[in-house]
Amino acid sequence: MDLHTWQRKLIPAGLLMSALLSGCVIAPARPYYAADEEVVMAAPPPPQQEYIGVAPAVGYVWLGGYWGWTGRSHVWVGGHWDAPHVGQRWMPHTWIQMRGGWHLRPGHWERG
């Protein structure tokens, strides 16, 4: 097979592969976080400073990052922009010290 024939077969195959892979999204796994029932003995570190940047669309809301719990250590889960929920407000993740340890109250949207 000559070079010209090889190129005519390879270029369409490469374009097809690019098109197929362009829909593939690889996102990092979100860490497991402690539910209200789980007691974490280690206090979470102070919040990290985040670069917020520009909202992707008018009206989007910044949901700040928080310290999640992996079962062994705290890990920072970065914040992200989210579309607003009509008639609701974002309540951020909060660590609460009680019953001999720390409990994570997950962030959530609530009416308000």
Residue 99: the pLDDT is 80
Residue 32: the pLDDT is 47
Residue 29: the pLDDT is 44
d(CA 27, CA 35): 23
What is the percentage of the chain residues whose pLDDT exceeds 70? 67
What's at 94, amino acid-wise? T
Under 8 Å between Cβ of 74 and 68: yes
Mean pLDDT for the stretch of residues 87-108? 94
CA end-to-end span of the chain, whole Å?
A: 70
Q: Supply the pTM of this predicted model.
A: 0.64
Confidence label for 89 from pLDDT (cuts 50, 70 and 90): very high
| Cβ-based neighbour number of residue 57 at 10 Å | 9
Q: What is the pLDDT of residues 22-58, one digit of tens each?
A: 443 344 444 444 444 678 999 999 999 999 999 999 9
pLDDT at 16 over 50: no
Mean pLDDT for the stretch of residues 85-96? 95
Give the residue extent of every domain in the chain: 30-111
Which three-class secondary structure state does DSSP give residue 39? Answer: coil
Q: What is the pLDDT of residues 63-79, one digit of tens each?
A: 999 999 999 999 999 99
The pLDDT mean for the chain works out to 80
